[in-house]
Chains A and B, each alone.
Chain A
Amino acid sequence: MAEVTLTINGLQVTVPQGSTILEAAEKAGFFIPTFCHDPELSKPASCRICVVEVEGAKNLTVSCATAARDGMVIQTDSPAVIEARKTILELLLANHPEDCLTCGRNGDCRLQDYAYMYGLRAGGFDGERHSYELEEENPFIVRDMNKCILCGKCVRVCAEVQGNNVVDFAYRGFNAKVTTAMDVPLSESECVFCGNCVAFCPTGALQEKRLRRSARTWEVKKVKTTCPYCGTGCNFDLNVKDGKVVGVTSCEGDVNGRALCVKGRFGYGFIHHPDRLTKPLIKKDGKFEEATWDEAVSLVAKELGRIKKDHGPGALAVLSSARCTNEENYLMQKFTRAVLGTNNIDHCARL
């Protein structure tokens, strides 16, 4: 494969032809901030925070969408670049609520990261401010369009990853806004609440409702696990605070990337639910009573044996669960066919 060699901050780096300047810089170990860029999505190059100085170019160049060429000489942190980035941040902050104090994304926000990195305090420019109402009428996602920086990742992830095209840009200029068709709330739209837009949002504009109200980002320990809901085997991070699961966030999953469905991302409420059975119950005199596992397993074995003896194996049927592992399901069918002696075994396939 053809390669190109360029110089970034004085360091020579060789990358495959077609790589962007951003990819070349990453390879050379230089950090370039980005808002609208994501390797999984198309490249609008709209936020301009990733601009760099290319020798001989008239303007600062966006590194996320410009192909690296042989012999390019690039500065990623020159005074002109830093000034441009600072101005972009000041403009964004001029219309951004100053409420990191209680914002659920405090500690995991790109706007905050870069403001700190470039030593900015809010309030570079005075001007109009949005005061959109907080949209929180659905149980999963809180949308605060006052915090939206219009990077459009939500629009693209909905269209390009989820394939739903639920949100897009509407209105013009300062009034430009990401909305559903006809600007209705998410709950009245075709949204399926997969939350993939939330996972890609770089600021606090889209937040997981329960998670962001129960913990600060720095309080949670992330534990990577595999979703138990269906056979796809998506990976995600359980967010654990004080020994309790308070939410789910995306990680780089082997089969799913960062994409999840509504069950995987928001269906964790059963884990600590008071109704969840943690001990076996046996019905005695019409009432369920707590029992030991020994008692319960013995009772089931006895009854299965009795039914098989009295009515034959055809009287028995087994329905297994998609929430069990393949190994458990294999054992279940083996048990059904070899021990119970019936082929009456099925599986719910998907929860």
Chain B
Amino acid sequence: MSGVTLTINGQHVTVPPGSTILDAAEKLGIFIPTLCHEPSLPGVASCRICVVEVGGGKKLIPSCMTAAKDGMVVETESEAVVEARRTILELLLSNHPMDCLTCEKNGDCRLQDYAFMYGVKGPAFEGKHHDYPIEDDNPYIVRDMNKCILCGKCVRTCAQVEGREVIDYAYRGFDTKVTPAMDVSLGESDCVFCGRCVALCPVGALTWKPLAGKGRAWEFNKEEVTCTFCESGCAFDLVKKDHRVVGVEPKAPAPGKPLCLKGRLGLELLYGDEPEPPKLKEDGTFVTVSWARALGLEDVLQKMKEVEDK
């Protein structure tokens, strides 16, 4: 396979045809910020933070969706690029709560990373602010839509599982919002709380409730484990603080696989130092259930008991 050769920030690089400019920059070790881009999901190029300057082109172009072409001359940190990124960040921050102080994502937030990187101190524009109530009517996911930057990663990852597609964009313009059908809460929706969306959210809009208040991102050590509850092989993170496992977070589904709540609960029981009792939705509300029930082992246990009794 012949490659295409282009120049990025004065360095030559050859990549397979079909690679994006972002891929080529990565190969050179040149960092380009992204918010909506995720290799495992279809690209949408909506956030524009990854724009770069391509010699001869009038407009800045998104590097995540533009194919690298032979002879391209790309600048990833030119004055125009930096100005565009700063403006994007200023616009996002103009409608973003300034509460890193106690935000669970503080220390692991792309918006914060890039604001620091480009010296954007805070909102630069006066304007409307969303004031959505924080949604935590379920035991697993806290949704704070005031912090959502509408990158749509949650929408796309949810749509990858056949039959789910629980959330999507609703409303228009400034009122655009990611919601389940009919704008009900996640607790009332068909959501199965696999946590794929939480794993990909770049900001504090979706956070994992069982870890709320348990520590800051920089206090945690994460260790990846592969779920053994079925043959899919999804990845979870054991979240450790002071050498204790304080929680289990969904990390990444195996290719084409769903991730599931059962797997996460099972791993919590297996590895957690103080696993909290599982909660499942029954007749529309979440109730605490036995581990056997949560892990679907009731029948097996019942049969074992019958055998034992004989």
| A contact set with B: CB distance below 8 Å | 93, 98-102, 106-107, 112, 115-116, 119-122, 216-218
Pairwise interchain contact B213-A99, C-beta atoms closer than 8 A: no
Pairwise interchain contact B102-A121, C-beta atoms closer than 8 A: yes
Can you spell out 15 A-B residue pairs with CB atoms less than 8 angstroms apart?
A100-B100, A100-B101, A100-B106, A101-B121, A102-B112, A102-B116, A102-B119, A106-B100, A115-B102, A116-B101, A116-B213, A119-B102, A120-B102, A121-B101, A122-B101
Q: Does B217 contact A (CB under 8 A)?
A: yes
Report the bound CA distance from A216 to B106 in whole Å.
11
Residues on B with beta carbons closer than 8 Å to the beta carbon of A217: 218
Report the bound CA distance from A106 to B100 in whole Å.
9
Selected from B99, B106, B216, the residue in CB contact (under 8 A) with A122 is B99
B contact patch SS: loop
Selected from A99, A101, A102, A116, the residue in CB contact (under 8 A) with B102 is A116
Q: B92 → chain A, closest Cβ, in Å?
A: 11
Pairwise interchain contact B216-A107, C-beta atoms closer than 8 A: yes
Q: B172 → chain A, closest Cβ, in Å?
A: 29
Q: Which chain B residue has the least Cβ–Cβ distance from A213?
A: B119
Report the bound CA distance from A98 to B123 in whole Å.
12
Q: Which chain A residue has the least Cβ–Cβ distance from B96?
A: A101
Selected from B98, B113, B119, B218, the residue in CB contact (under 8 A) with A99 is B98
Pairwise interchain contact B116-A216, C-beta atoms closer than 8 A: yes
Pairwise interchain contact B107-A98, C-beta atoms closer than 8 A: no
Q: Does B120 contact A (CB under 8 A)?
A: yes
Residues on A with beta carbons closer than 8 Å to the beta carbon of B93: 101
Residues on B with beta carbons closer than 8 Å to the beta carbon of A218: 107, 217-218
Q: B111 → chain A, closest Cβ, in Å?
A: 8
Selected from A98, A106, A119, the residue in CB contact (under 8 A) with B99 is A98
Pairwise interchain contact A121-B99, C-beta atoms closer than 8 A: yes
Q: Which chain A residue has the least Cβ–Cβ distance from B103?
A: A100
A contact patch SS: loop
Report the bound CA distance from A115 to B106 in whole Å.
13
Q: A160 → chain B, closest Cβ, in Å?
A: 31
A98 with B218, Cβ < 8 A, contacts A107-B107, A218-B107 known = no
Apart from the given pairs A99-B121, A122-B99, 7 other A-B contacts in the complex at a CB distance below 8 Å: A98-B98, A98-B101, A101-B121, A102-B116, A112-B102, A120-B102, A218-B218
Residues on A with beta carbons closer than 8 Å to the beta carbon of B121: 99, 101-102
Report the bound CA distance from A102 to B93 in whole Å.
12
Select the residue from B98, B102, B113, B121 with max chain A CB neighbours within 10 A.
B102
Mark each residue of chain B from 211 to 224: 1 if its CB lies under 8 Å from any CB of chain A, else 0: 00100111000000
A101 with B100, Cβ < 8 A, contacts A216-B116, A217-B218, A218-B217 known = yes
Q: Does B115 contact A (CB under 8 A)?
A: yes
Mark each residue of chain B from 86 to 128: 1 if its CB lies under 8 Å from any CB of chain A, else 0: 0000000100001111100011000011011001111000000
Report the bound CA distance from A100 to B116 in whole Å.
10
Q: A90 → chain B, closest Cβ, in Å?
A: 12
Residues on A with beta carbons closer than 8 Å to the beta carbon of B120: 102
Pairwise interchain contact B106-A106, C-beta atoms closer than 8 A: yes
Report the bound CA distance from A121 to B146 in whole Å.
15
Select the residue from A93, A107, A120, A217 with max chain B CB neighbours within 10 A.
A107
A-B interface, 8 closest residue pairs, ranked by CB to CB distance from nearest: A218-B218, A100-B100, A98-B98, A107-B218, A100-B101, A101-B100, A102-B116, A116-B102
Report the bound CA distance from A351 to B88 in whole Å.
48
Residues on B with beta carbons closer than 8 Å to the beta carbon of A106: 100, 106-107
Residues on A with beta carbons closer than 8 Å to the beta carbon of B99: 98, 121-122
Report the bound CA distance from A182 to B102 in whole Å.
37
Residues on A with beta carbons closer than 8 Å to the beta carbon of B102: 112, 115-116, 119-121
Q: Which chain A residue has the least Cβ–Cβ distance from B119?
A: A102
Residues on A with beta carbons closer than 8 Å to the beta carbon of B216: 107, 116
Q: A309 → chain B, closest Cβ, in Å?
A: 53
List B residues 189-217 near A (Cβ within 8 Å): 213, 216-217
Pairwise interchain contact A101-B218, C-beta atoms closer than 8 A: no
A101 with B107, Cβ < 8 A, contacts A119-B213, A216-B116 known = no
Q: B26 → chain A, closest Cβ, in Å?
A: 16
Report the bound CA distance from A74 to B301 in whole Å.
48
Q: Which chain B residue has the least Cβ–Cβ distance from A123?
A: B99
Q: Which chain B residue has the least Cβ–Cβ distance from A111?
A: B101
Residues on A with beta carbons closer than 8 Å to the beta carbon of B100: 100-101, 106
Residues on A with beta carbons closer than 8 Å to the beta carbon of B106: 100, 106-107
Report the bound CA distance from A121 to B106 in whole Å.
13
Pairwise interchain contact B101-A115, C-beta atoms closer than 8 A: yes
